Structure 1
């Protein structure tokens, strides 16, 4: 009896990291158009460190803008602010941070995890209940693995594990590479905001690169079948 082929995975979606937010007014004005310009599943809010009351107010101002576009708002760290800010969850770094955060985030909110240097750490994150794992972000010194190493890790995870994997892309080309490798989501940030054509054009460009990779992978599967 022939085995039933696995259903094709959906096209990878975008995960947009904001610049470090001090005054949210500019983002409040621009985010609706950006969220309409591309298929963005979630926004990672990077808050400029200050007192908790101010950070909560900034996140609260942005939360409905994101959520009304059917995207999730995650805080970059600051687990203790998630509920009061009306956010959907938090992105954490390292196994210890995940273990500390799970009691306050679960079961209602998202706990994503990066800072996973080894395969063992990645598997531990999945076993603990991380809602996604992120590969390829810069470490505390600004160093990243090679693009080939990140793509290899994404492909390994996508083939073997259920929770979604996210590839941190620093360029359009990396977004294409990570989508081809098996990423469920592609995290983009600084290079989007720095694009001289504007963030909307950059997002549309990246989404096209992801679509090309996804289509090419589907064609390859069809030829093999």
Structure 2
């Protein structure tokens, strides 16, 4: 009996990390002005808000100012850490680094909010995160020293996870080429950040280009898989 072919994987979606939102009044204002257009022009599933630590009242105010620009476009707003602010600021969840941080945060976030996790240096840690209830796992982000695995190693980890496990996997892309590579490897989401905001052509152009590259990589991979199945 012929084996039923696996259903095609959905096109990976973008996960946009903001610049670090700090004490500068210009940055939050510019970010607030640009986000609605960005989210209208590309398929962004979620926005990761990176906050410079300061007093909680100020951070909550910044999150509440950004939230409508994100959530009104149908995207989820996640905080990079700061689990204690998620509910108070109306965020949809948090991104956590390491198993210990996730275990500490789960009672606060679950069942109503998203708990994503990165900082997974081994396959064992990745599986433990999935079993513990992570809503996604992130591979490829820099560590505290700014070091990352090789691009091939990140792609291999994404491919391994996508083939075997149900929770979505996210590839941290530091360039357009990496976004393309991780989409081809099987990432459900591709996290993009600094290279989008730093593009001299503007963030909207860079984000659209990243989305197009992801779609092309996905289509090429799907065509190859179809051909292999005969």
- Tell me the TM-score range normalised by the shorter chain: over 0.9
Quick one: distance in 2 between partners of 1:97 and 1:223?
Answer: 43
What pairs with 1:77-96 in structure 2 (closer than 5 Å)? Answer: 77-96=81-100
Quick one: distance in 1 between partners of 2:88 and 2:31?
Answer: 20
Quick one: distance in 1 between partners of 2:153 and 2:183?
Answer: 14
What pairs with 1:139-178 in structure 2 (closer than 5 Å)? Answer: 139-178=143-182
| Alignment partner, residue 31 of structure 1 | 35
- Could you say what secondary structure the match of 2:5 adopts? coil
Deviations 1:86-140, CA, capped at 9 Å, x for gaps: 0000000000000000000000000000000000000000000000000000000
| Alignment partner, residue 105 of structure 2 | 101
| Alignment partner, residue 6 of structure 1 | 6
Post-superposition offset of 1:143: 0.3
Q: Does 2:225 match 1:221?
A: yes
CA RMSD of aligned residues (A): 0.7
Quick one: distance in 2 between partners of 1:154 and 1:69?
Answer: 28
Quick one: distance in 2 between partners of 1:2 and 1:80?
Answer: 52
Post-superposition offset of 1:177: 0.3
| Alignment partner, residue 208 of structure 2 | 204
Find the partner of 2:192 among 181, 188, 193: 188
Deviations 1:136-179, CA, capped at 9 Å, x for gaps: 00000000000000000000000000000000000000000000
- Could you say what secondary structure the match of 2:14 adopts? strand
| Alignment partner, residue 50 of structure 1 | 54
Q: Unaligned 5+ residue runs, structure 2?
A: none
- Could you say what secondary structure the match of 2:63 adopts? helix
Quick one: distance in 2 between partners of 1:119 and 1:218?
Answer: 26
Which runs of at least 4 in structure 1 moved beyond 3 Å after TM superposition? none
What pairs with 1:54-73 in structure 2 (closer than 5 Å)? Answer: 54-73=58-77
Quick one: distance in 2 between partners of 1:58 and 1:48?
Answer: 11
User: TM-score of the superposition, structure 2-length normalised?
Assistant: 0.96
Q: Unaligned 5+ residue runs, structure 1?
A: none
Post-superposition offset of 1:5: 1.7
Quick one: distance in 1 between partners of 2:117 and 2:96?
Answer: 5
